[in-house]
Amino acid sequence: MREQEVAMIFKITDKAVEEIKRIAKENNIENPILRVRVVPGGCSGFQYAMGFEESTEEGDYIFEQNGVKIAIDQFSMPYINGAELDYIVDFMGGGFTIRNPNASGGCGCGSSFSC
Q: Domain of 68: which CATH number?
A: 2.60.300.12
Amino acid 103: pLDDT:
80
Domain limits for position 102: 10-114
Residue 5 lies in a domain: no
Query: Is residue 109 pLDDT above 60, yes or no?
Result: no
- In single-letter form, the type of residue at position 26 comes to E
Check whether 61 has a pLDDT greater than 90: yes
Structure confidence at residue 46 as a pLDDT band (50, 70, 90): confident
Q: Which is higher by pLDDT, 83 or 94? A: 83
Give the number of domains in the chain. Answer: 1
Does a structural domain hold residue 42?
yes
Looking at the predicted structure, is the pLDDT value of residue 86 above 50? Answer: yes
Q: Is residue 38 part of a domain?
A: yes
CA distances 115 to 30, 34, 41, 82, 109, Å, are 35, 23, 13, 13, 17
Nearby residues of 2 by Cβ (< 8 Å), 6 or more positions away: none
Note the pLDDT of residue 11.
95
Predicted confidence (pLDDT) at residue 53 exceeds the cutoff of 80 = yes
Structural domain includes residue 1: no
**Is residue 3 a part of any domain in this protein?**
no
Query: Is 4 within a domain?
Result: no
